Amino acid sequence: MHLTRGLTFLALGAPALAITACSTSAPPVMAPPANFVPLGLGAAYLSGDVISGSRARGAKMRAAKIRPLAAAQAPAYMASLESELRRQTAGIGLDVLRVGDSIVIRVPAILTFDTGSASVKPQTDATLLEIARTVKTRNQTFVDVLAHTDTSGSPQGNQALSAKRATAVATYLASHGVSRARIASHGYGESAPLYNPDVTETQKAANRRIEIRLVPYRG
């Protein structure tokens, strides 16, 4: 498995939270505690099939007249997409990861939502807008929007909140030019933490995250 890192993360999935969407300076490095769990790259939800399955999602893509990639085209296409995403999002405060043949854009919740809210904050437009600008032009990928919470509150409440947040980001991407035929969303609640347990506020903040997974759409 090949892992590449963004500018603002020291370890797998550990976001540097002392940065805003408009900052261009490098944030301070934060070392993860000993109980850090690098779930973000090894979890089945990131390496399995796309949400609802590639067959059903592929039918929607075909109906939208989006051409699939030939098998031989996919590696170069995804490598080029990764490079473009890195250039487009440099300094924003998120991470771009390679997981198998897919790309995962990990966005810390501080750049998307207030605590307990599923409304995308107006000041985060710069973050999601830069992602949308690239993703909409590279339309030969499935777009999965995945949302996670920390363990504060009840599991049922966290599940519902994460589903609403995933839907909100998916709606944002669609409203900024990403074809709805490409997008699906899912909330994971507190079931896939990066830190387990999440005792400190830093750990909880890391677990509250949005992930946008781009998977090649093959014929």
Structure confidence by residue, pLDDT tens digits, 93-128: 788 999 999 999 998 888 888 888 898 888 778 789
In whole angstroms, give the CA distance from residue 155 to residue 15.
23
Spell out the domains of the chain, with CATH numbers in brackets.
39-216 (3.30.1330.60)
Angle at CA of residue 211, ends 100 and 179, nearest 5° = 90
Residues 10-66 pLDDT 10s:
333 433 333 333 333 333 333 444 554 556 577 888 889 999 999 999 999 999 999
C-alpha pair distances (Å), 123 with each of 6, 112, 140, 185: 21, 9, 29, 22
Cβ distance 165 to 147 under 8 Å?
A: yes
- What's 110's DSSP letter? G
CB-based contacts of 46, cutoff 8 Å, min separation 6: 40, 99, 102, 104, 211, 213
